[in-house]
Structure 1
Amino acid sequence: MRYTVVLSYAFTPAWLSLSRDERNAMEEQYIQPVFAKYADQVAARFFDAEAFHAQHTDFALLETEDLQAYYHLVEELRDTPLISRQYLTFTDIRIGVEGGYRTFEVLTRARE
Structure 2
Amino acid sequence: MTYGIVLTYTVTPRWLALSRTQRNALRAQHLEPVFAAYADRVTARFFDAEAFHGRVSDFAVLETEDLGAYYFLIEALRDTPVVAGGYLTFNDVFLGVEDGFHAYEQALTTGDALR
TM-score normalized with structure 2 length = 0.95
What secondary structure, in the 3-state scheme, does the structure 2 residue paired with 1:34 have?
A: helix
Q: Which runs of 4+ in 1 moved over 4 A?
A: none
Q: CA deviation at 1:58?
A: 0.4
The root-mean-square deviation of aligned C-alpha atoms, in Å, is 0.9
The CA distance in 2 between the partners of 1:92 and 1:35, in whole Å, is 19
Partner of 1:62: 62
Unmatched 5+ residue regions in structure 1? none
Counterpart check, 1:86 vs 2:78? no
What is the number of equivalent residue pairs in this alignment? 112
Q: Tell me the secondary structure at the aligned position of residue 91 of structure 2.
A: strand
Which residue number corresponds to residue 100 of structure 2? 100
1:57-77 Cα shifts (integer Å, max 9, x gaps):
000000000000000000000
CA distance in 2, matches of 1:65, 1:34: 18
**TM-score normalized by structure 1?**
0.98
Q: Percent of aligned pairs with the same residue? A: 56
Name 1:37's counterpart in structure 2.
37
**What is the alpha-carbon distance in structure 1 between the residues aligned to residue 108 and residue 6 of structure 2?**
28
In structure 2, the gaps of 5 or more residues are none
State the AA in 2 paired with 1:82. Answer: V
Give the superposition deviation at 1:111.
1.2
What's the counterpart of residue 4 of structure 2? 4
Cross-structure match for 2:110: 110
